[in-house]
Amino acid sequence: MGSDGGHCSFVLLAEFDILAGAQLKYQFPQPLGVDESVLAMSMLPDGAETQLDDWTIFFLNQTAFNTISPVLALDTPEVKTTPLSGEPATDAKDKPELLCVLNLVRTKHDPTLNRGARVLALAICTRHPFIQIFKPVLLMALDDYFSDPSQDCLARLFDAVNSMDLSGAPVLTRNEKMVMRSSERKDIFSEKFAHLAPPWNNSNNKTIPQHRSTHSAESFSSFEEGILMRHKEREETNVSVQLPTGHSSPSEASFSLGGSAVWVGDESGEGEGEEDSIISYVGTAVTESTRRRRSTDASSGSSQAHLKDGTLRPMQTPSYYDPNLRSGMAKDTHFYHTTVVYKDHQLPIKMPLATFPEEVGEYSLITLIKAFSSQALVSGPQHPHLHTNGPQTHPIIILFNALVTGKRIIFLGYRKPAGEVSSFVLSACALGSGCGVVLRGFIERAFPYANLNNRDEWEAVPAFIAGVTNPIFKSSPTWDLLLDISTGSVTVARDIHSTYPVSAGMPLGLGVPNMVRTATFNTETSLGSEEDIVRSANAKDGAKADFAKADNNADNIFIEDIKSAIEYHYGESLVRLRFTEYVLRFVRLASRFEEDTTGTTKFGYPSHAYDGRAPNPRLGSGIVFNDESVGRKELAANSHRIEAWRKTNSYEYICADFRKAHLGFDMSHQLFRMRNAKTLSDPEVSAIMRTLVENVKTYDQVVELLAYLMFHGGGLLHLAFCLFHQKESVRDATVDLFDQLRAFPVGVLFLQALNHFQRYAYVRQAHAREKRFAEQYQQQPPPPQQQSQTQSVYGPSSFNRTYSTDRMITPTMNGGF
């Protein structure tokens, strides 16, 4: 974000005239170069006079008919110079930037007027997808215009929005956004807000006393306090080992046997009224022994505690976790707090930091699911692109299939506010994209509010997603799927088979076998067990083979889980995460299908199992099926919608996105094996953990790993089980990996989410190994030619360490991925 303005590109004002109809009255700071009637009709939707207030959204720079061409070049980025997060640079070059238009329509009743009311619409054009943050200032500006109807009001609004300071807002990467939205901790990535904290202790330079009174939110748990006390008693009589203090990286930091340990503070919750949060607030602190021994606090709040000489000293700077200083920092790091000043009124603004370009405005997947939840209201012919489970395909799955296969979709809201219709369109775009995380290309063909005035133009856009309020569109032949918001009905076009003929491919007659119900829908679980296959084989011969018709089809199970989550009042964030997982699995399934049909895949890893043959063992990759025969049936059931998806722009985008991965191996495959594999050999576990140690070192790599380990799925839980593995090499590799995660604040938060037992095992093993290396260092000093080199307390760098029990595995085993 920049502080140089550019938040608002244009301000528009339209008014309904009883004789001339909708009229665009003002364009500030200059005309957009778009047909004024198009803008006026978009700003004043049908039936606007029946609503006191209504919010609508539409886009500019989508197609030729709504691409702006201002006379004077503005000092705002109307043409992209850099790609959006996850967007190929080749696509961004010379491509007009999509402008989001937030429009407020108000009807003010006045008996002195001809029609008894005055209808005005005020809109701002911005490149930011989080347009909802501008609602407060837009409300105040429209009130201002009613009291003083002049262009000066538009100028004040334009200047106020562009004066909003977002220079301090951290810009997060895709993986950082995924980590943030999966966590309910209000201190996630708090280190990115450190520059916003007021100068600490500016009046004097008193140092923090090494012992201070215990605060209720900072007290040690009795469990881990006992660990510290026992360590202290055993080590009080020992002589401290003096080791060289070279320039050690944070991931090579050591543990002090008497210094500190991972501990939990107040676990009552993140704040009042949040007792049901997924993640409880976990406190942190750093203690220092009086002997100033080198120590590592596995729950340290920031890697800034590591000084240049690789040692830990008493903290001289404030931490986010300091209750006396936290009030000066962000109360919730999911948002950036700023203000907009309009006519001496300071309006608070909360800008969300984890928004993707495919997520525009405020949308609700829960509302979308509740509106279209009845399979009985689905009418029209069945098509393999849409009905992946025959007549029992849930309406939301039909909508998802229509989105990813590029069908023309209309949301009809007769006598509904245009803002409500717009919200459904935006929700559908988020649904198809996996909440902006996985796929792209939906917003660029979305028309949240469309009307008859420019009907020919937006209906000519391939695979449009439009929201309308006029029932005349119900009889239009230009849509493939119509969803009626008022009734909850879903209608498939009668001529869809002639419009999209099904090509000969993998037969759907194989069907989809039954699936055992599980508490959690795993993102890579196959669709059945061996018993289910037998049941499926013994089914009636008269069953239709055109479509899979199992009630417990994977898609239906997923929807039932979502409905249960909504029924039990889980929040919007969890529902979004589950749909993200669903779209991720669809993409991995499509990658496997592409590999099976073409021999290679452009957006995924090749599918093969772990090969442990010496001298170069190879990790597995690709989607995992519990049974390959069941997997083939699932591929057959999804073959048509995958083939249709491969012909869309969304497919081209994901092929470009896949080439940007930081890691050189299939992380999803390894983590799925660690979580769900029925049998996992010791060599494979060792290879997985060592590969993680060797490939997860930098901050970007650490965040990418954590993006796969969402909190609601257990976080580091399954990796932490390796701390109890029977092989010492696996345990050592796990400690090394956790050390490397602990070097960064976000990794500290994930380590804090482990249970007491796992954290104690981590601390105990790290302390014991430090002691062992220290004794070896004292007994066998390094050769003279190496004494001048930088050393950690482990001796040689842990990144280059080979594990004695697995010497047959080479450090470069993943070079071919």
Mean pLDDT over 352-360 rounds to 94
402, part of any domain: no
Average pLDDT over residues 423-428: 97
Q: How far apart are alpha carbons 56 and 119 in whole angstroms?
A: 14
How many domains, the chain? 2
Between CA 45 and CA 16 the distance in angstroms is 10
pTM over 0.75: yes
**811 located within any domain:** no
Q: 3-state class of 746 per DSSP? A: helix
Q: Which of 215, 195, 214 is nearest to 328 (CA)?
A: 195
- Please identify, among 167, 189, 212, the residue that sits at the C-terminal boundary of a domain: 167
Cβ-proximal residues to 808 (8 Å cutoff; 6+ apart), any chain: 614, 615, 617
Residue 348, beta-bridge partner list: 339
pLDDT (average), residues 51-74: 84
pLDDT tens digit string along 168-191?
A: 899 999 999 999 999 999 989 999
- Separation between Cα atoms, residue 472 and residue 211, nearest integer Å: 76
pLDDT of residue 676: 86
pLDDT at position 813 = 30
- The residue with greater pLDDT, 278 or 662, is 662
Tens-digit pLDDT profile for residues 769-793: 888 888 887 877 666 665 444 333 3
Average pLDDT over residues 600-624: 87
Strands (E), 735-790: none
Share above pLDDT 70 across residues of the chain, in percent, rounded to a whole number:
69
Least confident residue range of 61-70, 87-96, 151-160, 423-432: 87-96
Task: Determine the straight-line distance between the first and last CA of the chain, rounded to whole angstroms.
Answer: 35
Residue 158 maps to a domain:
yes
| Residue 788 located in a structural domain | yes
State mean pLDDT over 120-136.
95
pLDDT-derived band of residue 664, with 50, 70 and 90 as boundaries? confident
Q: How far apart are CA 610 and CA 581, in angstroms?
A: 24
Identity of residue 531: E
Tell me, yes or no, whether 45 lies in a domain. Answer: yes
- Return the residue matching tokens 């002049």: 150
The per-residue pLDDT for 629 is 81
305-322 pLDDT, tens per residue? 333 343 333 333 344 444
Instruction: With cut-offs at 50, 70 and 90, classify the pLDDT of residue 198.
Output: low
Spatial separation of the C-alpha atoms in residues 453 and 450, rounded to whole Å: 8
Which CA distances in Å does 285 have to 280, 626, 748? 17, 44, 12
Q: Which of 150, 167, 184 is the last residue of a domain?
A: 167
Cβ count within 10 A of residue 82: 10
Structure tokens at 63: 């197609």
Q: What is the mean predicted confidence (pLDDT) over 16-31?
A: 86
- State how far the Cα of 503 lies from the Cα of 644, in Å rounded to an integer: 10
Instruction: Give the single-character DSSP code of 335.
Output: E
Q: What percent of the chain has pLDDT over 90?
A: 49
Which pLDDT value is given to residue 12? 96
Residue with more model confidence, 407 or 308: 407
Which is more confident, 136 or 17? Answer: 136
User: What is the pLDDT of the chain when averaged over all its residues?
Assistant: 75
Query: What value does the mean pLDDT take over residues 610-624?
Result: 85
Could you read off the pLDDT of 693-735 as tens digits, one per residue? 999 999 999 999 999 998 888 899 999 999 999 999 999 999 9
Q: Judge whether 39 lies within some domain.
A: yes
Q: Which tens digits make up the pLDDT trace of 486-542?
A: 999 999 999 999 999 987 654 433 333 333 333 333 444 444 433 333 333 344 333
More confident residue, 552 or 231: 552
Domain with 87, as residue range(s), is 1-167
Return the structure tokens found at 576.
């979004």
Provide the pLDDT for residue 228: 44
| Cα 771–chain centre separation | 41
Note the pLDDT tens digit of each residue in 647-661: 999 999 999 888 776
Least Cα distance to 748 among 694, 699, 690, 685 occurs for: 699
Q: Give tens-digit pLDDT for 220-250.
A: 344 344 444 544 454 444 433 333 333 333 3
Last residue of a domain, one of 167, 200, 230: 167
Q: Output the pLDDT for position 19.
A: 72
Please tell me the predicted confidence (pLDDT) of residue 47. 75
Residue 687, pLDDT above cutoff 80: yes
Residue 428 has pLDDT above 90, yes or no: yes
Q: What is the DSSP string of 640-695?
A: HHHHHHTTSHHHHHHHHHHTT-SSSS-HHHHHHHHHH-S---HHHHHHHHHHHHHH
- Phi, psi values for residue 513, rounded to 5°: -70, 170
Q: What pLDDT does residue 96 have? A: 81
Q: Are strands 10-17 and 335-342 parallel, antiparallel or unpaired?
A: unpaired
CATH number of domain containing 65: 3.30.450
Which value, to the nearest 10 degrees, does the dihedral of the CA atoms of residues 604, 605, 606, 611 take?
-160
587 compared with 808, residue with greater pLDDT: 587
Tell me whether residue 791 is in a domain: yes
Instruction: Identify whether the C-beta of residue 447 lies closer than 8 Å to the C-beta of residue 464.
Output: yes
Residues sharing a CB contact under 8 Å with residue 331, sequence separation 6 or more, in sequence order: 186, 337
User: Among 190-204, 220-234, 271-285, where is mean pLDDT lowest?
Assistant: 271-285
For residue 69, what pLDDT band results from cuts at 50, 70 and 90? confident
Question: Residue 484's pLDDT is what?
Answer: 96
Q: What is the three-class DSSP state of 292?
A: coil
Report the candidate in 354, 348, 314 with the shortest Cα–Cα distance to residue 334.
Answer: 354
In total, the chain counts a number of residues equal to 817
* CA gap 425, 418 in Å, rounded: 11
Closest to 252 in 3D by CA, of 691, 697, 803, 768: 697
The answer to whether position 556 is within a domain reads no
Residue 252: the pLDDT is 34
